[in-house]
A and B are shown apart, each in its own frame.
Chain A
Amino acid sequence: MCKRQGGMDYPARVEVLTPRSLQEALALKAERPDARAIQGGTDLMVELNFDRARPETIINLNEVAELRGWSRENGSLRLGSGLTYTEAMEGELAGLLPALAEASRTVGSPQIRNRGTIGGNLGTASPAGDALPPLLVEDAEVELASVRGERSLPLADFLVGPKRNALGEDELIVAVRIAPSGSRQTFMKVGPRNAMVIAVCSLAVAADRERGELRAAYGSAGPVPALIAAPLDERATFAERVAGAASPIDDVRGTAAYRRHALRVLAARALERVLT
Chain B
Amino acid sequence: MRIELTVNGERREADVWAGESLLYTLREGLGLPGSKNACEQGECGSCSVLLDGQLVCACLVLAAQADGHELVTVEGLAEDGRLHRVQEAFVDAGAVQCGFCTPGLVVATAALLERTPEPTDDEIREALSGNLCRCTGYAKIFDAVRAAAAGGAS
- Write the residues of chain A forming the contact surface with B, with a CB cutoff of 8 angstroms: 1, 4-7, 10, 14-16, 18, 38, 40-42, 45-46, 48-50, 58, 60, 62, 86, 108-112, 114-115, 194-196
B110 contacts A by Cβ under 8 Å? no
Note all chain B residues with C-beta closer than 8 A to A4: 19
Note all chain A residues with C-beta closer than 8 A to B108: 110-111
Q: Decide if B60 touches A16 in the complex (CB within 8 Å).
A: no
What are 9 of the A-B contact pairs (CB < 8 Å)?
Answer: A41-B65, A49-B40, A49-B41, A58-B62, A110-B127, A112-B42, A114-B56, A115-B61, A195-B129
Q: Decide if B130 touches A16 in the complex (CB within 8 Å).
A: no
B20 contacts A by Cβ under 8 Å? yes
Note all chain A residues with C-beta closer than 8 A to B127: 110
A56 to chain B, nearest CB (A): 10
B51 to chain A, nearest CB (A): 8
Known contacts: A1-B40, A7-B19, A46-B42. The answer to whether A60 contacts B62 by CB under 8 A is yes
Contact for B60 among A1, A40, A60, A194, CB less than 8 A: A40
Q: Decide if A111 touches B45 in the complex (CB within 8 Å).
A: yes
Contact for B57 among A1, A14, A112, A195, CB less than 8 A: A112
A50 to chain B, nearest CB (A): 7
Q: Decide if B130 touches A195 in the complex (CB within 8 Å).
A: yes
Known contacts: A42-B42, A49-B59, A109-B45. The answer to whether A16 contacts B64 by CB under 8 A is yes
The chain A residue with its CB closest to the CB of B57 is: A111
Note all chain A residues with C-beta closer than 8 A to B153: none
B97 contacts A by Cβ under 8 Å? no
B43 contacts A by Cβ under 8 Å? yes
The chain A residue with its CB closest to the CB of B23 is: A49
B100 contacts A by Cβ under 8 Å? no
Contact for A109 among B17, B62, B129, CB less than 8 A: B129
The chain A residue with its CB closest to the CB of B69 is: A62
CA distance A111 to B48 in the complex (A): 8
B133 contacts A by Cβ under 8 Å? no
